[in-house]
Structure 1
Amino acid sequence: MSTLPGRRRGPSKGDRREQAILETARALLARKPLADITIDELAAGAEISRSSFYFYFDSKLAVVVALLHGITGELGRDAGPWLDGDGPDAESLRAALSALAVLWRDQGRLLTGAFAAAPGCPPLAQWRDGLRAAHVDRLAARIERDRAAGRAPAGPAPRVLAGLIDDLRTAAFAGTADPEALVDDLVTVELRMIYGDFGGSPLGRVIRQAP
């Protein structure tokens, strides 16, 4: 019987096996470093043979890259209100960083390994560069808006400052076993990097009083 027009087909057996490989990799990465994971483990977790594994991925690295692209949207999913807003909005920044911290808590081994390996691995470097550029572009635009409106003081070039903030976040989350515990400190540091110390001004009080 033919499929009715407009009806979506379910995932194929190949799609399910590919997803099973990715889920196996995700589960294994929660327990041990990427370097200790083998193709045999990935194949066994997906209930396929080692030779069948290569029908879906040509290497362990290809699995990791697919996992990373799968979570790329999550890395910036809740950042819109902060990046598209203006002024020292501590609550929007905290919401963005809190969502990011949860992702680092759940996917920290994958992300830490990817960032560490990126300098010597073109596919990972391309993923990392694209991720960083997307955040830096939007944050630099925000800094430019706030400086033009007199809400933020002059300082380093917006893209330079945005890049420093992005690198700080990555290093902070990659270097801790408890990403969520860093959120409040990162809120304070990032706001001060952008808005400086305004002394007794309303902007200064907003930054200092951020919980």
Structure 2
Amino acid sequence: MSPAPAGRRRGPSKGDLREKAILDTARDLLSRKPLADITIDELAAGAEISRSSFYFYFDSKLAVVVALLHGLSGEVSRDAGPWLDGTGPDAEALRRSLAALATLWRDQGRLLAGALAAAPGCPPIARWRAALREAHVERLAARITRDRAAGHAPDGPAAHVLAAMIDDLRSAAFAAATDPEALVDDLVTVELRMMYGNFRVHHPDE
């Protein structure tokens, strides 16, 4: 057989496809029932492999969950850039960022809520949550510092303290919500007032 032409990209391997099938199965099952009710047999069946073959790709159900969470990390922060890198009380930029996050919570709420609940007693998930939180808090604290220096925002709690409060608030709110998208306008108001004081937020329907 002739070798593949130089520079030609090879497609995903059979192992890559099976690993993706396991992850896709887990994502589908989580949209319908709690993580605790999902079994290894279901994950293997959904990927059309045997239970013993499952362990070639993941050593536990937890490993599948952690892989899914890391896959979501980019989505969680993807639409936050225009808000986090901007300046001033830009309600529309914050609304777009929170709306994207709300959509993610709507689609992946079981996985995200389960991860937040499990984090205190599960080191792999705790590390994922800590890294995600630290990245958001650092960028939000930098924005708060810029806005205070420019006179856009009043002095208050230390920038990192305030940023951490905002991150914890939105995570708790989305985790408890039955309709995450309905929270967006209220979160815009609360977060802007936490950062800028008695700021009047105009909602799109006003």
Pairwise same-fold verdict (TM > 0.5): yes
Q: Is the 8 A contact 2:40 2:61 kept in 1?
A: yes
Instruction: Tell me the equivalent position of 1:200.
Output: none
Instruction: Tell me the equivalent position of 1:209.
Output: 202
Instruction: Tell me the equivalent position of 1:115.
Output: 116
Give aligned-pair identity as a percent. 77
Q: Structure 2 regions of 5+ residues with no counterpart?
A: none
C-alpha separation in 1, matches of 2:146 and 2:27: 40
**1:174 pairs with 2:175:** yes
C-alpha offsets along residues 102-146 of structure 1, whole Å, 9 cap, x if unaligned? 000000000000010000000000000000000000000000000
C-alpha offsets along residues 13-32 of structure 1, whole Å, 9 cap, x if unaligned? 11100000000000000011
One-letter amino acid of the structure 2 residue matched with residue 209 of structure 1: H
Where in structure 2 are the equivalents of 1:103-182 lying within 5 Å? 103-182=104-183
Q: Structure 1 regions of 5+ residues with no counterpart?
A: 198-203
One-letter amino acid of the structure 2 residue matched with residue 53 of structure 1: F
One-letter amino acid of the structure 2 residue matched with residue 103 of structure 1: L
Residue 177 of structure 1 deviates from its aligned partner by 1.2
Give the match's secondary structure for 1:160. Answer: helix
C-alpha separation in 2, matches of 1:10 and 1:208: 50
C-alpha separation in 1, matches of 2:59 and 2:106: 29
C-alpha separation in 2, matches of 1:94 and 1:7: 43
C-alpha separation in 2, matches of 1:208 and 1:61: 42
C-alpha separation in 1, matches of 2:81 and 2:39: 38
Instruction: Tell me the equivalent position of 1:14.
Output: 15
C-alpha offsets along residues 62-114 of structure 1, whole Å, 9 cap, x if unaligned? 00000011110000111111000000000000000000000000000000000
C-alpha separation in 2, matches of 1:130 and 1:17: 28
Q: TM-score, normalised by structure 2?
A: 0.97
Q: Is the 8 A contact 1:105 1:180 kept in 2?
A: yes
Q: Is the 8 A contact 2:87 2:146 kept in 1?
A: yes
Q: Is the 8 A contact 1:188 1:210 kept in 2?
A: no
**1:90 pairs with 2:91:** yes
C-alpha separation in 2, matches of 1:93 and 1:208: 11
Structure 1 stretches of 4+ with a deviation exceeding 6 A read none
One-letter amino acid of the structure 1 residue matched with residue 104 of structure 2: L
Q: TM-score, normalised by structure 1?
A: 0.95
Q: What is the CA RMSD across the aligned residues, in angstroms?
A: 0.7
How many pairs align? Answer: 203
Q: Is the 8 A contact 2:91 2:201 kept in 1?
A: no
Q: Is the 8 A contact 1:21 1:43 kept in 2?
A: yes
